[in-house]
Amino acid sequence: MQRLFAAIAVLAAFITPVAAQPSGLVVSVAASVYDALDEIAGLYRAATGVTVALNPGGSNTLARQIAEGAKAGLFLSADEIQMDVVEQAGRIVPDTRTRLLTNELAIVAPQSAKALTLAQLLEGRIARLAMGEPGAVPAGVYGRRWLEHEGAWARLEPKVIPFPTVRAVLSAVEAGRVDAGIVYRTDATTSAVRVIATMARKDHPYLDIAYPAAVIVGPSEKEARRFLEFLKGPGARAVFDRRGFGRP
């Protein structure tokens, strides 16, 4: 009996820090932009003293959580489709939906592998191509769209190894388990892979990889609007530029 009380006392001592958790603005952010947002949140805190909590994840999971009522104040998604999901659920504050960033696809290969050219890839002269799940993961959706546009999808589809995340694609390429992978330009710069080609926006307007942001209906609306303005401002833009994200 005494041990039970002791245990409860220890538990109570631990609980106080948890119960005192701050309830502030929560931003649900796509994993591929998390690092950039983390840096920007630091700048925001230095400038305003406000701490923003970031919730990273896959855009589809984040969208689902928000649709079910999760109290995020701002949502930064890796594609328009997931933002549509949230909008259709009636969770967006109207006229706050903004195109914040753009990105480009990059084709990468293992550093140690024999030199592979884009032409060779499109001709199907590889064994394995890693990409995000072509039906679900935004990067995979874009990847497929690009290959279809190049007329190479039918040829390459049997060689595709789908992954649930871009991070997993990069790991596979870094480890040499596949011959090539389709990722975002911003991911390629931070990894130990060789970039074979980048699909520039002006050459591939049909890809239009956009990161929309929107304020979510809820108690944090005011702080979310403030943070969104900061994200559109020059300080944040410098961070995004440096990390390879394109302008809207």
Partner 1 sequence: MSAETWVIARFTVLMASLATAIVLPPAIAIGWVLARKQFPGKALLETIVSLPLVLPPVATGLLLLWLFGRRSPVGQALDSMGIDVIFTWKAVVLSMMVISFPLVARSVRAGIEQVDRRYEDLAATLGAGSFRILRTITLPLASRGIAAGAVLGFSRALGEFGATIMVAGAIPGRTRTLAVGIYTLVETGREETAWSLLLVSALLAFGAIYVSNRLVEQKGRA
Q: Of residues 69, 94, 176, 248, which one binds partner 1 by CB under 8 A? A: 69
Please tell me whether residue 14 binds partner 1 under the rule CB under 8 A.
yes
Among 1, 3, 5, 18, binds partner 1 (CB under 8 A): 18
Does 72 sit near partner 1 (CB under 8 A)? yes
- Contact letters (x/-) for partner 1, 147-186, by CB under 8 A? ------------------x-x-------------------
Q: Which residues does 147 contact at the CB level (< 8 Å), separation at least 6?
A: 153, 156
- Which run of H or E residues covers position 195? strand 193-199
Q: How many residues bind partner 1 (CB under 8 A)?
A: 29
Give me 31's structure tokens: 């994993």
DSSP state of 92: B
Q: Is 15 in the site for partner 1 (CB under 8 A)?
A: yes
Strands 98-103 and 129-132: unpaired
Nearest residue to 100 via CA among 199, 187, 229: 229
Q: Which of 1, 11, 46, 115 binds partner 1 (CB under 8 A)?
A: 11
Task: Check residue 203 for interaction with partner 1 (CB under 8 A).
Answer: no
Residue 119 binds partner 1, judged by CB under 8 A: no
Q: Residue 41 in 3-state DSSP?
A: helix
Q: Which residues contact 225 (CB under 8 A, 6 or more apart)?
A: 93, 96, 215
**Closest to 80 measured CA to CA, from 95, 60, 64, 61:** 60
Which stretches of the chain bind partner 1, using CB under 8 A?
A: 11, 14-15, 18, 21-22, 26, 28, 31, 34-35, 53-57, 61, 64-65, 68-72, 165, 167, 187, 190-191
